[in-house]
């Protein structure tokens, strides 16, 4: 997504997360800059999402319900909010 509003969601500890939104389209970028697993609390208000991209090739992609995610050490994710 190249256009749209940018909103910071988290910048605490080793986690940086932001949302890019244009119209109905929303993408959430999450980065774990540390060396430990981090819970991904920014998805707590998202009912459904699709994991589009991970820096880890073994991460399962696709649509998810309200299943919580953890960021692995050094991992980055791009997530589409579906509701």
The full set of domain ranges for the chain reads: 5-81
Q: What is the CATH number of domain 5-81?
A: 2.60.40.1180
Structure confidence at residue 17 as a pLDDT band (50, 70, 90):
very high
- Token pair 């929303």 is at which residue? 26
Structure confidence at residue 1 as a pLDDT band (50, 70, 90):
low
Q: How far apart are CA 15 and CA 22, in angstroms?
A: 24
Per-residue pLDDT of 18-74, as tens digits, reads 999 998 889 999 999 999 999 888 887 777 888 999 999 998 888 776 667 889 999
User: Would you say 31 and 65 are in contact if contact means Cβ atoms under 8 Å apart?
Assistant: no
Strand partners, 16: 31
Strand partners, 15: 32
User: Would you say 38 and 69 are in contact if contact means Cβ atoms under 8 Å apart?
Assistant: no
Tell me the whole-structure pTM to 2 decimals: 0.86
């Amino acid at each position: 997504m190249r256009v749209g509003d940018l909103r910071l969601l988290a910048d605490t500890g080793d986690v940086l997360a932001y949302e890019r939104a244009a119209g109905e389209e929303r993408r959430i970028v999450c980065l774990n800059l540390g060396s430990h697993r981090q819970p991904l609390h920014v998805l707590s208000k998202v009912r459904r999402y699709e994991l589009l991209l991970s820096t880890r090739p073994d991460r399962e992609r696709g649509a998810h319900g309200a299943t919580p995610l953890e960021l692995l050490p050094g991992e980055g994710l791009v997530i589409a909010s579906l509701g």
